[in-house]
Amino acid sequence: MVASVATSAFFPVSSSLSVASANGSKIINESSESLSVRGIVAKPSSSSGALKVKVQAQALPKVNGTKVGLKTEAQTAEEGAPSAPRTFYNQLPDWSFLFAAVTTIFLAAEKQFTLIDWKPRRPDMLADAFGLGKFMQDGLVFRQNFSIRSYEIGADRTASIETLMNHLQETALNHVKRAGLMGDGFGSTPEMSKRNLIWVVTKMQVLVEQYPSWEDVVEVDTWVAPSGKNGMRRDWHVRDYGTGKTVMKATSVWVMMNKQTRRLSKIPEEVRAEIGSYFVDRGPIIDEDDRKLSKLEHDTADYVRSGLTPRWGDLDINQHVNNVKYIGWILESAPTTILESHELVGMALEYRRECGKDSVLQSLTAVSSNGGASADGPQEAGLECQHLLRLESGAEIVRGRTEWRPKRAQGLQNMGPLPAGSG
């Protein structure tokens, strides 16, 4: 079922990438990259339990300024942690080193002073505050909070869909890490890493009920379940921390793949032993939408946006583009009129292939209306769009479908500049 659908989607096609920069400028990245598929879980490997200890240590400062637990744990962690690429002070100009030394001295005094002001309310809120998350329900559900930062807001003053999807990714990784299952940092468990196996996302479905605003706090719950015989499903439920109301629900399907051969794999018994106990016996949080995602072509699309290229900041440690970026690119070709009048409430994605720094992408969108018009008239009806993100050379990256509803708070939309005395 799912796995078999995924099978056909996943065999990478090595395409000749045109490493294009416009107008004949000097080509910077000449290596052509053979495309390979990877999963959303394969994210930066700041590895290991040692790091985990360190972070927890940070989260528990003592109110009176005594930092007994803090320092020692951090130090142990430092010794244990594998060295990430860092620069050492002895490589810096001397003044910088002196400045740091002087600052450290003042800091010790300052820290005493500022910590006194900060009275933690409850220990679990502290852990949440630093975004570490915690296990719920006998360890089967992992929960983490995020406060929406100012730069995560989109054009209409609410958190963008990319921000929400980023939170899902962070929670998933922290779930794996806190369960002690972080192998080589790709979201692969130790037994998977031994066998060069990775999880790869094939499908994602999202339903948004309301978008949070700047400074809202969202609470994200995540859990895993089996998907067929050899797949895994990961679901999320995002709520507004203050009101408890649902912000978003999401469900995703993953398959196991050998990262060298790129072939799909069954779940080995050893891996099943590691993760089986984490599988929850629950149906998907969103009813699966069985409708096929159609393939768009240039002539069937209503809008096309070409020349999309990854920036350095879009890449993860393997220099592959973070999956969440695809969503931004998909929406690049959605017409501005829809973005201004409607908000995204549903999304279904099929991941086919991934891309790297040298890829040049094209985003296609076709618009169709939903079946019934709402009582408010045809303008108030929902909309549906079909999407395709592909390389300009043709290879498909993601197929998608989005659903939109008219924005509710129309009053907020036309807020312009300064209220006082402005034109």
51 touches another protein by CB under 8 A: yes
Cβ 182 to another protein, closest distance in Å? 11
For 14-43, letters b (16+ CB in 10 Å) and e give eeebebeeeeeeeeeeeeebebbbbbbbbb
21 touches another protein by CB under 8 A: yes
- Rounded CA-CA distance 346/206 in Å is 5
28 touches another protein by CB under 8 A: yes
Residue from the set 16, 22, 281, 337 that interacts with another protein by CB under 8 A: 22
- Rounded CA-CA distance 153/53 in Å is 32
Q: Does 320 qualify as catalytic in the annotation? A: yes
- Catalytic choice (167, 175, 320, 387): 320
By C-alpha distance, which of 347, 333, 343 is closest to 390? Answer: 333
Close Cβ partners of 252 (under 8 Å, ≥ 6 residues apart): 40, 201, 203, 204, 205, 233, 234, 235
For 153-164, letters b (16+ CB in 10 Å) and e give bbebebbbbbbb
Decide whether 151 or 375 has the Cβ nearer to another protein.
Answer: 151
303 touches another protein by CB under 8 A: no
Count of residues in contact with another protein, rule CB under 8 A: 102
43 touches another protein by CB under 8 A: yes
Cβ 16 to another protein, closest distance in Å? 19
394 touches another protein by CB under 8 A: no
Decide whether 110 or 287 has the Cβ nearer to another protein.
Answer: 110
Residue bearing tokens 């984490």: 278
How many Cα atoms occupy the beta-carbon half-sphere of 58 within 13 Å?
12
Residues between 283 and 302 that touch another protein (CB under 8 A): none
Cβ 397 to another protein, closest distance in Å? 16
Decide whether 3 or 53 has the Cβ nearer to another protein.
Answer: 53
Residue from the set 16, 150, 261, 379 that interacts with another protein by CB under 8 A: 150
375 touches another protein by CB under 8 A: no
367 touches another protein by CB under 8 A: no
Decide whether 6 or 127 has the Cβ nearer to another protein.
Answer: 127
Residue from the set 244, 377, 378, 419 that interacts with another protein by CB under 8 A: 419
| Identity at 291, one-letter amino acid code | R
Residues between 242 and 281 that touch another protein (CB under 8 A): 242
Contact 34, 359 (CB under 8 A): no
By C-alpha distance, which of 314, 336, 333 is closest to 388? Answer: 333
Residue from the set 8, 16, 64, 104 that interacts with another protein by CB under 8 A: 104
Binding mask 181-220 for another protein (x = CB under 8 A): --------------------------------xxxxx---
Residue from the set 307, 368, 370, 394 that interacts with another protein by CB under 8 A: 307
For 225-242, letters b (16+ CB in 10 Å) and e give bbbeebbbbbbbbbbbbe
Segment interacting with another protein (CB under 8 A) among 3-11, 285-293, 315-323, 341-349? 315-323
| Residue 261: both structure tokens together | 């051969």
Cβ 406 to another protein, closest distance in Å? 18
Distance in Å from the first CA to the final CA of the chain: 59
Residue from the set 136, 273, 317, 373 that interacts with another protein by CB under 8 A: 317
C-beta atoms surrounding 315 within 10 Å:
15
Residues between 52 and 71 that touch another protein (CB under 8 A): 52, 54-55, 57-59, 70
- Rounded CA-CA distance 328/238 in Å is 20
138 touches another protein by CB under 8 A: no
Residues between 78 and 97 that touch another protein (CB under 8 A): 84-89, 91-93, 95-96
- Catalytic choice (167, 355, 385, 387): 355
φ, ψ for residue 113, nearest 5 deg: -70, -45
103 touches another protein by CB under 8 A: yes
239 touches another protein by CB under 8 A: no
- DSSP summary character for residue 264: B
Q: Does 318 qualify as catalytic in the annotation? A: yes
By C-alpha distance, which of 277, 283, 260 is closest to 195? Answer: 260
Largest CA distance in the chain: 71
Query: Annotated active-site positions, please?
Result: 318, 320, 355
